[in-house]
Amino acid sequence: GVGMAGARPPRFLLVFDFDETIVDENSDDSVVRGRALPESLRQSPRGGSYNEHMRRVLGWLGEQGVRPADFRAVYENIPLSPGMAELFQFLSKHHELFELVLLSDANTFGIEAKLRAAGARSLFRKIFSNPASIDRRGFLTLGPYHSHQCPQCPANMCKRKILSEYLQERAREDAEFQRVFYVGDGANDFCPAGILTAADVAFPRKGYPMHRLIQEAQEKQPGAFQAAVVPWESATEVARYLQELLRRKC
């Protein structure tokens, strides 16, 4: 159907991390703030799984009487990162051009709560995160996202695998992206950013692990990291970059 509204799929894929990217804190830390954890839960495991550690922390909090509504309130009140509200406004204005997905090692319960509170849930086509739900006791329970073979990533989540599979799935559904943009901050955002091509852009948060790892990779082997790199302190810088791109007709 020529000229049908909505017939043209979005031209750009925008991938977001959550902790210290969309929100200005690590939400796992936000959940335990002000609570004296028992010694056994105070250190996240050196060799063990961080995902399992968080599952135990959430279970302990449930036993202390923390209810789903309490958790929801904590997530809703985590501040957005600088400029993120403006970036979301820009993206909702141009939502027909951008497809958004979120890749996070936090959990679906907290992410959904925060995005809804920020009025941004409908911007995201898909949220990939560790499954969290309320069990019969009324406790928030957490599971791993998937399993994978990547030696770099935590056992429960390799974002590169998720992103590769998503791009393949969307290609089968005839969504062709001219470019992929990746907004993140952490070491686990460096792994997926490695599949970006020269047409794509990585937006690492300035001075955070993703940014440092990209810089190290570029020093070690110039050209090995293919995407353009645009570090940000405020997400308005990401909005400005995308705005400029649209002005130049991409």
In this structure, the strands spanning 124-129 and 132-134 are unpaired
- Number of Cβ atoms within 10 Å of the Cβ of 157: 25
Residues 179/189, Cβ–Cβ less than 8 Å: no
Single pTM value for the model: 0.94
19 labelled as ligand-binding? yes
**pLDDT of res. 108:** 97
CB neighbour class for 12 (10 Å; exposed up to 12, middle 13-18, buried from 19): buried
Q: Residue 2: pLDDT above 50? A: no
**pLDDT of res. 178:** 94
28 labelled as ligand-binding? yes
**pLDDT of res. 1:** 43
17 labelled as ligand-binding? yes
24 labelled as ligand-binding? no
Percent of the chain at pLDDT above 70? 96
Tens-digit pLDDT profile for residues 131-158: 999 999 999 999 999 999 999 999 999 9
Greatest Cα pair distance, the chain, in angstroms, is: 64
Known catalytic residue at 70: no
Exposure of 41 in the CB half-sphere (CA atoms within 13 A) = 18
135 labelled as ligand-binding? no
Percent of the chain at pLDDT above 90? 89
Residues 178/11, Cβ–Cβ less than 8 Å: yes
* Domains parsed from the chain with CATH numbers: 12-247 (3.40.50.1000)
Residue 202: both structure tokens together:
């990585």
Q: Residue 6: pLDDT above 50? A: yes
Query: 179 in helix, strand or coil?
Result: strand
Among 113, 104, 205, residue whose Cα is nearest residue 163:
104
The DSSP annotation for 53-105 comes to HHHHHHHHHHHTT--HHHHHHHHHHSPBPTTHHHHHHHHHHTTTTEEEEEEES
Known catalytic residue at 17: yes
Tens-digit pLDDT profile for residues 108-131: 999 999 999 999 999 999 999 999
Average pLDDT, the chain: 94
Q: Residue 73: pLDDT above 80? A: yes
pLDDT-based confidence at 99, cuts 50/70/90? very high
